[in-house]
């Protein structure tokens, strides 16, 4: 396993100010260690790397802005761990970092890795700020140290199906049938279960359900099965590589549907849309995103892209998972675990550009969190719902191949 220790230092200007202070003063404030655990290798490596990028950007920003001010400007030191897309490695990294005195964790993108890592952190009551996983169990096991900034599966699926129903209704209800395609882990299976329960309440019949492993290298048979069933809707919940391969296979087999609609589609990103525009065009994804009305959103995206990186929602949530953890430490005025957990429980963090208001954690779940309805249009990702965040009108049904 790979775990490296890295201190994220401030900018040159801030560093110059630090050097001007007396050595005895600078020595008073030990760095605040936080563990960043992500699957930066293995089956979901791309998304894990994106989460890590956002997290390290947040550490850099916090340190450049003066560190943890309540602790005399203590700098944040990030301990980086590669969970290798394996739950047992994620748990082992928690054990190692706990021995090194971390004040909190962020991670771990994958639901499976996060379940193991948060359980391990709970033994030490170390706060864990989740940055990507949506699995219900993460905040329903009674672990008082776990906090999730964004929606859980139950709330996101409810909102996603309502958004899909609105699209369908506004178009005259052309979609009557659906096929569900999902990864076979906890994330995809739980999502598909919820979708299967809710679609019939909107007069949409699920005609088939196809689970696939992660990784899967060939979706030809899946595409042919979908083509044979000829559903109006294809609803996908898959990780990045499989998402793109599946979408490509559907187009190659000339599978026509009124919409391809994904829920937390990990492969729905700018790289996919820009490199394979014909395949991506018109796909709708219900997912995490920034508030397009807030000018800081575009500034952040441009910053990521200017640095030569791809902007994805994982960068955004990796960033704010660290920010909300640092805010709790700041308000606690301490790295004491109990005080930081207490600070999380009364958190009203609002210094963000996400499509919801101040945080309100109940049993670890942020109650106001929401996702947005996104669509690939004109080579970009655009918000098509809800109305208060809409950038462009949705295209529904999708144009046929």
What pLDDT, on the 0 to 100 scale, is given for residue 401? 61
Name the nearest CA neighbour of 220 among 256, 179, 250, 181: 250
Q: Whole-model pTM?
A: 0.90
- Residue entry with tokens 């329903």: 140
In angstroms, rounded to a whole number, what is the distance separating the alpha carbons of residues 170 and 174?
Answer: 10
- CATH topology match: 32-151+294-370 vs 154-287+373-389: yes
Q: Could you tell me which residues come within 8 angstroms of residue 278 by beta carbon, excluding any fewer than 6 positions away?
A: 251
Residue 62 and residue 34 in contact, taking contact as beta carbons nearer than 8 Å: no
E strand intervals along 56-187: 76-82, 104-107, 128-130, 146-148, 177-183
For the chain, domain boundaries: 32-151+294-370, 154-287+373-389
Q: Could you tell me which residues come within 8 angstroms of residue 52 by beta carbon, excluding any fewer than 6 positions away?
A: 36, 38, 40, 80, 318
In angstroms, rounded to a whole number, what is the distance separating the alpha carbons of residues 274 and 123?
Answer: 45
**What count of residues does the chain have?**
401
pLDDT 10s per residue in the chain (401 long)?
A: 555 444 433 322 333 333 333 444 444 589 999 999 999 999 999 999 999 999 999 999 999 999 999 999 999 999 999 999 999 999 999 999 999 999 999 999 999 999 999 999 999 999 999 998 999 999 999 999 999 999 999 999 999 999 999 999 999 999 999 999 999 998 899 999 999 999 999 999 999 999 999 999 999 999 999 999 999 999 999 999 999 999 999 999 999 999 999 999 989 999 999 999 999 999 999 999 999 999 999 999 999 999 999 999 999 999 999 999 999 999 999 999 999 999 999 999 999 999 999 999 999 999 999 999 999 999 999 999 999 999 999 999 998 76
The CATH number of the domain covering residues in 154-287+373-389: 3.40.50.2300
Residue 150 and residue 288 in contact, taking contact as beta carbons nearer than 8 Å: yes
Q: Are strands 104-107 and 128-130 parallel, antiparallel or unpaired?
A: parallel
Cross-strand partners of 385: 373
Domain 32-151+294-370 of CATH type 3.40.50.2300: yes
């Amino acid at each position: 396993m790979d775990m490296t220790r890295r201190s994220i230092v401030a900018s040159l200007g801030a560093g110059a100010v630090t050097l001007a202070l007396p050595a005895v003063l600078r020595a008073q404030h030990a760095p605040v260690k936080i563990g960043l655990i992500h699957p930066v290798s293995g089956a979901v490596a791309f998304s894990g790397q994106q989460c890590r990028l956002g997290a390290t950007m947040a550490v850099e920003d916090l340190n450049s802005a003066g560190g943890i001010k309540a602790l005399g400007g203590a700098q944040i030191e990030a301990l980086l761990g590669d969970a290798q897309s394996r739950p047992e490695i994620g748990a082992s990294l928690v054990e190692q970092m706990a021995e090194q005195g971390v004040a909190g964790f962020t991670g771990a993108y994958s639901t499976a890795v996060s379940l193991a890592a948060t359980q391990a952190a709970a033994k030490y009551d170390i706060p864990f700020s989740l940055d990507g996983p949506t699995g219900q169990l993460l905040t329903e096991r009674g672990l008082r140290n776990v906090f999730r900034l964004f929606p859980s599966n139950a709330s996101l699926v409810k909102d996603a199906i309502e958004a899909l129903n609105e699209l369908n209704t506004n178009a005259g209800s052309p979609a009557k049938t659906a096929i569900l395609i999902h990864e076979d882990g906890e994330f995809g299976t739980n999502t598909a279960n919820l979708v299967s329960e809710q679609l019939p309440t909107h007069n949409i019949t699920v005609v088939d359900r196809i689970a696939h492993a992660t990784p899967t290298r060939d979706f030809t048979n899946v595409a042919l099965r979908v083509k044979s069933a000829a559903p109006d809707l294809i609803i996908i919940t898959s990780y990045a590589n499989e998402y793109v391969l599946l979408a490509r296979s559907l187009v190659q087999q000339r599978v026509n549907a009124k919409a391809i609609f994904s829920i937390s589609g990990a492969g729905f990103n700018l790289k996919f849309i820009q490199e394979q525009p014909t395949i991506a065009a018109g796909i709708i994804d219900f997912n995490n995103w920034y508030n397009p009305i807030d000018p800081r959103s575009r500034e952040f995206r441009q910053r990521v892209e200017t640095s030569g990186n791809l902007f994805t929602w994982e960068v955004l949530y990796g960033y704010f998972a660290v920010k909300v953890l640092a805010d709790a430490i700041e308000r606690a005025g301490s790295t004491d675990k109990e005080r930081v957990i207490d600070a999380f429980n009364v958190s009203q963090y609002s210094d963000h550009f996400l499509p919801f208001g101040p945080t309100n954690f109940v049993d670890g779940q942020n109650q106001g969190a929401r996702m947005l309805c996104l669509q690939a249009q004109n080579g970009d990702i655009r918000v098509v719902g809800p109305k208060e965040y809409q950038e462009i009108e949705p295209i529904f049904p999708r144009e046929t191949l």
